[in-house]
Structures are given as structure tokens and as C-alpha cells.
Amino acid sequence: MSSSARSFFRLGYRTKSVIILLLMACGPQPFDYNEFKSFFMPESARNEAAFHPYNFTPQFLYDDSDLYADSPTDPAEAANSKAWANYAGIEDSIVTEELYPRYGSKTTTGLSRALKEKGNLHALQYLEFSKKIAVADGATEAGGTATKPDFEAWLNLIKSEYNQSTDAFIKERLAYQAVKVADMAGKPQQSIDFYNSLVKSLPTKTFISDWACARMAGAYVHAGDSTQAYYHFSQIFVNAPTRRKEAYLSLRMYLPKLKDEALKLCKTDAERANIYAATAVLPFQDGLPMMEQIRDLNANGPLLEFVMAREINKNEDFFFNTREDLKYAYWDLDSLKKANLKTDAPEYFNKLLNFSLESAENPTLKTSPFWYTSAAYLTFIARDYKKAADLLQKAKAIPTTNKALQDQIALQELILLVSETEQITPEIESKVIPLLERFSNSRNFRVANNFNAACRILAAKYRGQPAPDEFAEGNGSKSVLVAAKPKASKPLGWFAGCFGKKDKELQSSPDGIAKAFLLSMLTSSQLGYSKQSDENFGTAYFASNADQYVIEDSTSSATIYQVISYFSDKNADDFDTRLIKLTALNNDYLYTVLGRRALAEHQYAKAAEAWKHISPATWQAEPFKTYLDVNPFHLDGQGDVDPKQKVTPLSFAIRMAELQEKVNKNPKDYQSWMLLGCGSYNMGYYGNSWILQRRGWSGGEQKNEKDDYYTSAKALAYFDKAMQTAPSQDAAARACYLAAACQKISYELAYNGLYDGLYLLPDDERAKKELEINKTLENLRREKYATYFNLLKTKYQGTDYATRLIEECSTYKDFLTGK
């Protein structure tokens, strides 16, 4: 009994369980750092790929923190490498290796050799000179160089070479270097003058002139003319892919919002539209009035759809989140501004809907299905399903080659289909299944959000339960969005009667129960997103995913029986066959789960019957080989004598069933009650054989006070029966001690529940609350959770076992002394 004190609270806790903690805590990958509750894909917008980093995100830049994506090639590096490669007649990669060597790679000179071999010494000399300038520029940005370059000499050389050069390729680059070096020399006005005199006069311009323009815009910042800088950076952001990010960061970080002043510098409507577009994508700008201006000035501009998608996504974040969630989000945004954005979110959705509908009918814009698609989505959020369906049909009638927009339309068909139907009919199933197949393994979190929401709604309807409100304001804290009143001149059919409809009472069926289980499984990260075609070793995990293990662990054995029956139905129709195939589950999996669920329900004979369908080789392999290597019928010296006696899940279930049968025939069978208690305890969370019930174990699990897996309530009942039927006082004391250990678990759960969140409170409030908790816990311990310790102290205090407990169990010793 030397292990008594050590193991009182964690009788079956073992180091290897910590390994499972680490494995399970890591979870599937990758996680999308941009993720928030959003259903509208920004990729639906025209030109999204070109402006992808500027989609709305809670992060600094979209995809900027994606640790699992390959680093994208810098567009400036790619363009320059290609230009030099074409000029020198070599491969792009050879240029990249010399001009943009990667960390740890060897220095190469393939471009220089090619120029030399062609006898192009003029270009070779420029190339070497440009490298010196680049080194000096990098050092200057880093805080200075040991030896300051002779900028004046450099500029004189550049001007001389520029005037003599007849090579347009090199001449444009010399002009850029003049603008750059003058700014490096701390002469911003000279940099601006060089741009106007050297760059503007070039008859042919490439992206290198964009580089010069960006440097000139920076020179305006250094010269103190932020308005000119704002104007130029806005034009660069829209028109110059190779300097887009630099322009955006400059607008975002270094310049005041000078939109109105910069507009006065514009010469054309297109330039004015660019100012509005570049401003609209800055964090938390009110993009709607800017979109109105863009549409009036240059409806064919590249950013109108992009800004619209961005505004929808931004408002989704404020609409779907709760005020409490937003309280600590966006640390650089004023809390009052956050509150206002949350309050105004329903009205803002309505305004965006008006804009979408107007744009959809605009003669210049009506060739794009984007506007009807966005209008359909916003109308769907307002619960006007009929209007949303009509708009979606109009979107489908307009051809598009944008795959993301096609997917967005299909996703909206899916969520509309499952939301508006009250009874799931074969006709609905035939429409749903191809959409489920299409989107079942996406790595896009918005696709996952739509797919998972659709599956959850369908599952609820198959069960005959009210469907979850997946699209409610405040993440479900409000039941419906209260639509703002639309403009009187433009009735939208957004009727109040569409809100708050109650689901009719639905009826579930055995097949419906099975289908609901399978659809729930499709929402899990382990199942729904593990069949990646790119052979990525990870699985995509998103916040809208469920956990397959949790679904298994909360499902009844009766449901699993229904699923097995559904799988074996010889009259399965097309939907049944395709749904089963989509889940990729098989009978081995189902019978394994069935055994676990029957065991959790303490239906041991049913568990044994289920596990007879599993190949014996399964129990000899991992994970059972490692995590079922201790005898579950041995507990702290009680039960079986040999703690290393091996069992399999099947032999365990068979023996538990036999023990149950014994006590049914002879309720005074002390040894059988003890073995039932040991087995029941050890197949629980704190036992040595938890793998009999669960696939994973984690120290961070949220423990359910109503789940016997965590409470060991059944084991306590078995030990109590053993105590009452014990052949001697000493034997009764042994059973009483194990019952006390089970009761202590319930106390721990109550303790943790009361302390949950305590240390998030302010100090004075926490101290007061802690005193109240301690008093409550003391009363609970004395009145509810000390039953078996009291019995050890009173009824069994004279036994040898109780006497040894005083010496070896510190918890019991503390109890006796009143601690």
C-alpha cells in the first residue's frame, strides 16, 4: 500500500499520458491567422489576386502571418529578374541567383558572365554600380554606413552615363538611380527634380519608372509635402504592382489622411478614383462613400468590387462578433469606435445591400455577377430567402470565369437551400449532395464556414431539432438581424415578415439520425478536411470546425447502431451512397466507436458484441500496444493482484459483462463489485486505461461534471456496493478508501468550476470572491464530499487498513487533523 498517498488524486496518472497531451494539444494544421466569422469570399471580387494582401483581416496584412504558406515571390524581384533575363538572353533563375541570393546560398555571377560574353560592357558596368548603390541604400536604411559614399560623385556619373546612353533598358535604370541616390543623399527636392527631368521624358516606361515614382513620392515625404506624397502613393498603389506594398505601407503608416487635399492634385477622374480606392483599403475607413465616388468617377476601375468585398468582410467581423469579443480586439482602434462599428453593423449591411443592388443594375457594371452575388448574400443575412434566391439566379445567369465567384454563388446556394427548407426531402438531398462533395475538403476558412454551417443545419433538421442560427448577429447572441429601412425610392423586398420565423416541429427517423451523425462528422477538422489532394501531411483546421473525438464521445451507442444499420442498407439510394463515401468511414471504425460508447454507458455485453467485429490484430497494434499495457482491473493494490496482466478491449468488455452478470445473480459478491469498480475507474479520465473509452487524452480538457468518464460516479457506486457487502471490516475499509478517491474527483471538479476565471478579476474583487469561494468549498467538502472519509474515520478507524492510511496517505491525514 506504499502507493496510497502518491496516487490518491491520480490513481492511474502516468507519464506517457503526457505524451498524448502534447499530441492532442498541437491539433491539426494549418490554422489560418486571418480567420474570423465570415462567409463571403473576397476572392469573388475582380482583381482580388493582385490586391490579395489588402483584404480585410484582423491581422496587419492578409496572409502576412501564415506560417504554413510558402513565402510568395516578391513582385519587384520577379519583374526585374525577368526583365534582365530577357535583356541578357538567359533564364530568370540565373538572374535571381545573382541579384537576389537567398540566405545561405552561394554567390553566383551568371548574369554578369552573360553580359560580358555578349560584350555589353555598358550594361555590365551599370550592373556593378547598381549593386554598390543597393548596398549603400540598405545600410542607410539600417542606420548608416562606416564610410559614407560620395553621393555627389555618384550623381555626376549617373547623369553623364544617362546623357550618353542610347540603350533604353539601361537609360531608364540610370534615371531611377538618379532619383534614388539624390534621396539617399538627403536632397529630396533634387530627387523630385530628377524624376521630372529624367524619368518623365523617357519615351518608353516600364516598372522601373514605377520604382522611380515611388522613390520620388518618398522624397516628397522627406521634403515635408505629404499631400503630394499621398497623391503619388495612391496612384502607385493602384497602378504599380511592383511597388504596391511599399505604397500601401507608406499611406498606412507615415502619412496623415490627406485624401481631400490630394484630390485637388488629380488631373483625371481615374486618378481621383484611385485616391478613393487607396484610402478605402486603409484600416477601418468608411469605404461606402468612397465606393460611391469610385463608381461615379471610374466604374471600370480595378478596385470597386475589391473594396466592396472588403467592406462586407469588415462588417461581418463586427456583425457576427459579440461586444465582449470585440472589446479586446484591434488594440490600435479606439474602444468607442469599436462600439459604434458594432452598433451600426446591421444598418451598414443594409447600406451595402442598397449599393450592391444599384450596382447590379448599373449599365457599366451589370456584366459582372459579383453585384447580384453580394446582394444575394446580404439579403440572405436578413432572412429574405425568396429575394436572396431570385438575386442568386440573376447572378448565375451572367457568365464569369472567376472560379472563386462561381464557388461563392454555389456556397450561397448551399446555405440558402438548407436554411429555407423545413423538411429534408429526396429532392433537397439530390441538390445538396453535389455541393457537399464540392466543398468538403477546402483549405479556405470561408468555404469551411459555409460548409460547416450547412452541415450543422442539415444535421439538426434530420434530428428533428430546431436548426442552429449560424448567421445570427453577435454570434448567436441575437436571434435575427433587424434590417434597416431601405430607401423609399428603392424597395428591396426586405420584409419584416421574414424575421423570426419559428421552425415547424420536425420528425426524426432512424436514417435521419444516421445522416445527422455523418454530417456532424463532416464538420470535424479530422474528417472534413483530411482528404487533401496536394498530399499535405497536415489537415486544415478552422474555428468553425468541430472535433471528431468530441462528436464520438458525445454520441450514444444507439445512434452508432443506427449508423451501422444505415451503412448496411441494401436499399440505399444515390444520396446515401455518396454521403457514406464522402465521410470515408467504414465498419471497423463504427464498431470501434460503438464499443467505446457502449462501455461509456456501462453496457458491457454490448461493447463486447461490437468489438467482436474488430480484427484481434487491431488490439496488438498502436495505440493499444502502448496505452493499454496496465491491468485495468488493478487499482492501488486492490482488484487483480498482477498489475501487468495484459488485456484487450474485447477481453476487458467480456470480463466486465461477466462481473455484471455475477453481481446480478449474487448482489453480495464483494470481489466482483471491487473488480467492477476498478475497471470502471481505470477506463475513465484518471485511470490507467482511458483509451478503452477515448481516442485521446489531454491535461487541458474541459471536464464535464455530468460525464462519468470524468466523475467516476459509476466506479464510486461499485465501491460503495463492495463496502456494503465486504466480508470483513478491513475489506470494507479498502472499498471505502477507493470510494473516497472517486468522491474527491467530484470535489476537484467543483473546486475548479468555482475558481474558473477568478484570476481575471481585478485584485480587490478577486480577493473578496476568493474568500466566498473558500467558504463555499469548505461547506461542500464537509457536507457533500467527505462521506467516505467520515466513514473511514468513524466506522473503520480501528481497521489495520485505516491505520496504515494515516501513515501513508497525506490527504487522509490532513482530513483527520481538520485541514
For residue 478, the model assigns a pLDDT of 44
pLDDT at 657: 98
Match 454521403 to its residue by C-alpha cell: 579
Whole-number mean pLDDT of the chain? 87
* CA 685/CA 671 separation, integer angstroms: 23
d(CA 130, CA 138): 12
pLDDT at 683 over 80: yes
d(CA 329, CA 180): 39
| Residue 245, pLDDT score | 95
DSSP three-state, residue 546: strand
In this prediction, residues 30-50 reach a mean pLDDT of 90
Please measure the distance between the N-terminal and C-terminal CA atoms of the chain and give it in whole angstroms. Answer: 23
Q: What are phi and psi of 524, to 5 degrees?
A: -80, 150
Answer with the residue of higher pLDDT: 16 or 6. 16
d(CA 752, CA 756): 6
Query: Residue 24 pLDDT > 70, yes or no?
Result: no
Contact yes or no for 74/64 (Cβ under 8 A): no
Q: State the DSSP code for 359.
A: H
Tell me the chain's radius of gyration from C-alpha atoms: 35
Asked whether the bond before 53 is cis by omega within 30 degrees of 0, the reply is no
Q: What pLDDT was estimated at residue 813?
A: 62
Alpha-helical segments (H) within 523-586: 525-528, 548-553, 557-567, 574-583
The per-residue pLDDT for 102 is 85
Give the whole-number percent of the chain exceeding pLDDT 70: 87
- Give residue 762's pLDDT band: very low, low, confident or very high (50, 70, 90): confident
Residues in the chain, overall count = 819
| Model confidence band, residue 26 (pLDDT cutoffs 50, 70, 90) | very low
Residue 142 has a pLDDT of: 52
* C-alpha distance from residue 62 to each of 51, 54, 345, 704 (Å): 10, 6, 22, 38
- C-alpha span between 230 and 263 (Å, rounded): 9
DSSP class of residue 31?
B
Quick check: 295 pLDDT over 60?
yes
pLDDT at 99 over 90: yes
Band (pLDDT 50/70/90 cuts) for residue 323 is: confident
Residues facing residue 702 across a β-bridge: none
To 5 degrees, how large is the angle CA 668–CA 671–CA 672? 75
Rounded to 5°, angle at Cα 387 from 381 and 388 = 45
Q: Looking at residue 76, what is its pLDDT?
A: 95
pLDDT at residue 294, as a whole number: 97
Could you read off the pLDDT of 150-195 as tens digits, one per residue? Answer: 999 999 999 999 999 999 999 999 999 999 999 999 999 999 999 9
Of the candidates 239, 311, 332, the residue with the CA atom closest to the CA atom of residue 278 = 239
Query: Which of left, alpha, beta for 602 (phi over 0: left; psi -120 to 50: alpha)?
Result: left
pLDDT value, residue 815: 62
Report pLDDT for 358: 97
Closest CA to 709 of 692, 724, 730, 734: 692
pLDDT at position 13: 40
3-state secondary structure 274-329: HHHHHHHCCCCCCHHHHHHHHHHHHCCCCCHHHHHHHHHHHHHHHHHCCHHHHHCC
Give Cα separations from 34 to 61, 278, 469 (angstroms): 9, 21, 23
DSSP, res 251? I
Residue 744 CA to residue 727 CA, distance in Å, equals: 25
- Percent of the chain at pLDDT exceeding 90: 69
Q: Which amino acid is at 299?
A: A
pLDDT greater than 60 at residue 558: yes
Q: What is the DSSP string of 121-142?
A: HHHHHHHHHHHHHHHHHHHHHH
Would you put residue 584 in left (φ > 0), alpha (ψ -120 to 50) or beta? left
Q: How far apart are CA 606 and CA 543, in angstroms?
A: 36
Q: Which three cell numbers stand for residue 493?
A: 423586398
DSSP conformation letters of 384-432: -HHHHHHHHHHHHTS----HHHHHHHHHHHHHHHHHH-SS--HHHHHHH
Q: Which residues pair with 620 in a beta bridge?
A: none
Torsion sign across C-alpha atoms 765, 770, 771, 773:
positive
pLDDT for 418 equals 96
Q: What is the pLDDT of residue 337?
A: 75
Secondary structure of 617-648 in HEC code, one letter for each residue: HHHHCCCHHHHCCCCCCEECCEECCCCCCCCC
Q: What's phi and psi for 719, nearest 5 deg?
A: -65, -35
Q: How far apart are CA 769 and CA 164, in angstroms?
A: 83
Tell me which residue of 34, 403, 49 sits closest to 241, measured CA to CA.
Answer: 49
For 419-442, give the DSSP string: HH-SS--HHHHHHHHHHHHHTTT-
- The least confident of 45-59, 607-621, 688-702, 775-789 is 775-789
- Give the pLDDT mean for 421-445: 93
Is the model more confident about 747 or about 404?
A: 404
For residues 292, 298, 302, 305, the Cα torsion angle rounded to the nearest 10 degrees is 30
pLDDT above 90 for 143: no
The DSSP result for 758-791, as a single string, is GGGS-HHHHHHHHHHHHHHHHHHHHHTS-HHHHH
Q: Give the pLDDT mean for 634-663.
A: 95
The string of pLDDT tens digits covering residues 766-781 is 888 888 888 888 888 8
- Under DSSP, the state recorded for 166 is -
Confidence of residue 10 (pLDDT cuts 50, 70, 90): very low
Q: Which amino acid is at 660?
A: Q
Cell numbers representing residue 475 in the block: 454570434
Q: What's the distance, CA 399 to chain centroid?
A: 32
Asked if pLDDT for residue 273 goes beyond 50, the answer is: yes
> How far is it, in rounded angstroms, from Cα 207 to Cα 79?
8
Mean pLDDT of the region 556-575: 95
- Which pLDDT score is estimated for 773? 84
pLDDT band at 220 (very low <50, low <70, confident <90, very high): very high
Closest CA to 685 of 707, 709, 716, 715: 709
* Span 336-388, pLDDT tens digits: 777 888 889 999 999 999 999 999 999 999 999 999 999 999 999 999 999 99
| pLDDT category of residue 141 using cuts at 50, 70 and 90 | low
d(CA 312, CA 310): 5
3-state SS track over 704-740: CCCCHHHHCHHHHHHHHHHHHHCCCHHHHHHHHHHHH
Q: What is the pLDDT of residue 15?
A: 39
CA distances from 74 to 77, 293, 348, 391, 485 (A): 5, 32, 36, 39, 46
535 pLDDT more than 60: no
pTM of this structure: 0.87
Q: Where are the alpha helices (DSSP H) in 442-524?
A: 445-463, 510-522
H-helix or E-strand containing 811? helix 810-816
pLDDT bin (cut points 50, 70, 90) of residue 812 is: low
The residue ranking higher by pLDDT, 784 or 520, is 520
Phi–psi pair at 202, nearest 5 degrees: -65, 130
Region of poorest pLDDT, from 44-48, 141-145, 605-609, 717-721: 141-145
Q: What is the DSSP string of 67-104?
A: TTSPPPPPHHHHHHHHHHHHHHTS-HHHHHHHHSPPTT
